[in-house]
Every structure is written in structure tokens, then in C-alpha cells.
């Protein structure tokens, strides 16, 4: 079972890129973020023709998350993160797929910091941690996949000082991610590649893709009851180099 996460950065604008990648790599489950489309604009028919059923939570102009499954329909379990009824941003969707509970996550960016957007980011990550604890205690096999908008350590960002004031690498952001992972979740890519510089995001500006000046923002966190099932994990880096590409590349895991 191959599960991938891909911040598509506008699902309709980059639909051809998405369909090409699906055709070549054939993941079983895909978590998408930054749909940048309202619910009625989601390209359900095109994805269905490619063999993927979908559930999604859209939002005009920004945000939006989806879960795709090849050859079967995801069973929707949740379309929002609990803990704040006033939060209407499309950042979380959850479904059961072939015996695994999968969440597609688009955590807040948090910039500029300090300020209300950074406070919202930290509060959102804490809500995620509390919800994840409940999922873990259910005993279900769980994969939390998405763009967490945190580069957890200095190994997850190219050597630079230009991002020092950015919310993605602040000590508070990293502490929130570390607290979320704790001892109960496995950061699958780091688990299998403990000392390797692996990136999933390259900003469009300043030739950062060409210079491989990236950050690892997209993560797949596995509940401990899946640890013995991890076969492989990686990033389809070449996708970032395609014409009209998202600024993210897909990250994935393979479970036996």
C-alpha cells in the first residue's frame, strides 16, 4: 500500500501535472493540500477517469484538502479538525481507506510572526496533537499526512540564514511539531533516512529549485502499530522540476 502526500498548489491549474504523476507512480492513497478551489470546482470526473475516487473539503482562493484512493472509495470520517468551532478554514480531512485511517493535513503557515497568524498556527498544531492522541488511543492504524508547514530540524532546511525570521523554522513551531510526534508517532521519512538531507518544498524565488535550496515541510506520521509494516519512504523530487509544477514535490511511504 503506497500512501502519498502532495501539496498541489491549485488542483485545477496543475491537474495535468497531478494526472501525469498518478499515471506514472500509481499510489494507492493520495492526500492533497492547497486545492485553492471551492467544492464544486474540484475535478472529480477527471480523477475518476484516472481510477481515483475522492473526498474533499474545498475553499475559495486558498487552503482545501482532499484524499484520493485508487480503485475504491475513501470512507469519510471527518472534514474539520475539532477543538475550535469558529475555525472554518479547509485544512483537515480524514477517511478510512482499506483498513487504515488517513488524514490529509494543511497546517497554517503562520507568517508573519510574531502575530495572530503565528498564534493561530501554534494553536492549530496543538489541536492536531490532541486529536491525534484520540486517534492513537482508538487502536486504529493511522497515517497523518500533509504539509505541516514546519521544517523540524536544521537538517530539514538548506544551510542558510535567510529563513531565520520565518514561522516555518521558529523554535515554537519546531517544539509544537516535536510534541505532536512525541514517542507515539513515527516520522516515516526521517525514520528510514535518519541523516539525509531530504526536501519536499522549493520556493519559486531566487532559483531555489535550481540550487536545491529546499525545506522538508511535508510529512507522513505513522502510528506505532504500523512501524513493522514500513517498507520504504521517499520524495518524488523530479515532479518539482516539471513545467508548471507546484512548489512542493510528493512525499510517500510504502506499507506491506
Residue 91's CATH number: 3.60.10.10
Query: Taking a C-beta distance cutoff of 8 angstroms, is the pair 117, 111 a contact?
Result: yes
Answer left, alpha or beta for residue 9, where phi above 0 means left and psi between -120 and 50 means alpha.
left
Residues 6+ apart with CB under 8 A from 207: 213
Phi, psi of 126 (to 5 degrees): -70, -40
Q: What is the pLDDT of residues 66-84, one digit of tens each?
A: 999 999 999 999 999 999 9
Please give the DSSP secondary-structure letter assigned to residue 5: E
Question: Would you place residue 198 in the very low, low, confident or very high pLDDT band (cuts 50, 70, 90)?
Answer: very high
Average pLDDT for 89-96: 98
- What is the C-alpha separation between 240 and 238, in angstroms, rounded? 5
Q: Write down the pLDDT at residue 130.
A: 98
Average pLDDT for 98-112: 98
Q: Write down the pLDDT at residue 230.
A: 98
Average pLDDT for 195-200: 97
Q: Write down the pLDDT at residue 115.
A: 98
Query: Taking a C-beta distance cutoff of 8 angstroms, is the pair 50, 33 a contact?
Result: no
Query: Taking a C-beta distance cutoff of 8 angstroms, is the pair 66, 51 a contact?
Result: no
Which one, of 22, 27, 54, lies nearest residue 39 by Cα? 54
Looking at the chain, the whole-number percentage of residues with pLDDT higher than 90 is 100
Q: Write down the pLDDT at residue 189.
A: 98
Question: Would you place residue 141 in the very low, low, confident or very high pLDDT band (cuts 50, 70, 90)?
Answer: very high
Question: Would you place residue 16 in the very low, low, confident or very high pLDDT band (cuts 50, 70, 90)?
Answer: very high
In DSSP terms, which residues pair with 29 in a beta bridge?
3, 69
Mean pLDDT of the chain: 98
Average pLDDT for 167-186: 98
Domain that holds residue 33: 2-255
Q: Write down the pLDDT at residue 157.
A: 98
Question: Would you place residue 134 in the very low, low, confident or very high pLDDT band (cuts 50, 70, 90)?
Answer: very high
Cα-Cα-Cα-Cα dihedral of 134, 141, 32, 232, to 10°?
A: 140
Rounded to two decimals, the pTM is: 0.98
Average pLDDT for 37-54: 98
Q: Write down the pLDDT at residue 37.
A: 98
Number of domains in the chain: 1
Query: Taking a C-beta distance cutoff of 8 angstroms, is the pair 192, 222 a contact?
Result: no
CB atoms within 10 A of CB 206: 10
Average pLDDT for 159-166: 97
Q: Write down the pLDDT at residue 153.
A: 98
Amino acid at each position: 500500500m503506497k500512501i502519498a502526500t502532495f501539496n498541489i498548489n491549485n488542483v485545477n491549474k496543475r491537474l495535468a501535472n497531478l494526472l501525469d504523476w498518478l499515471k506514472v507512480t500509481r499510489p494507492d492513497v493520495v492526500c492533497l493540500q492547497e486545492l485553492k478551489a471551492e467544492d464544486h470546482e474540484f475535478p472529480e470526473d477527471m480523477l475518476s477517469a484516472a481510477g481515483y475516487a475522492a473526498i474533499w473539503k474545498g475553499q475559495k482562493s486558498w487552503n482545501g484538502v482532499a484524499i484520493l484512493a485508487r480503485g475504491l472509495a475513501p470512507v469519510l470520517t471527518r472534514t474539520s479538525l475539532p477543538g475550535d468551532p469558529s475555525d472554518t478554514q479547509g485544512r483537515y480531512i480524514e477517511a478510512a481507506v482499506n483498513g487504515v485511517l488517513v488524514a490529509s493535513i494543511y497546517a497554517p503557515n503562520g507568517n508573519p510572526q510574531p502575530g495572530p497568524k503565528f498564534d493561530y498556527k501554534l494553536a492549530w498544531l496543538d489541536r492536531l496533537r490532541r486529536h491525534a492522541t484520540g486517534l492513537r488511543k482508538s487502536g486504529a492504524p493511522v497515517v497523518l499526512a500533509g504539509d505541516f508547514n514546519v521544517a523540524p530540524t536544521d537538517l530539514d532546511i538548506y544551510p542558510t540564514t535567510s529563513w531565520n525570521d520565518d514561522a516555518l523554522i521558529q523554535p515554537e513551531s519546531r517544539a509544537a511539531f516535536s510534541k505532536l510526534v512525541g514517542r507515539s508517532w513515527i516520522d516515516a521519512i526521517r525514520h528510514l533516512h535518519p541523516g539525509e538531507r531530504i526536501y519536499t518544498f522549493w520556493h519559486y524565488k531566487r532559483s531555489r529549485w535550481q540550487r536545491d535550496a529546499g525545506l522538508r515541510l511535508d510529512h507522513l506520521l505513522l502510528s506505532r502499530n504500523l512501524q513493522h509494516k514500513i517498507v520504504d519512504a521517499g520524495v518524488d523530487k523530479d515532479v518539482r522540476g516539471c513545467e508548471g509544477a507546484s512548489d512542493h514535490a510528493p512525499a510517500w511511504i510504502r506499507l506491506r
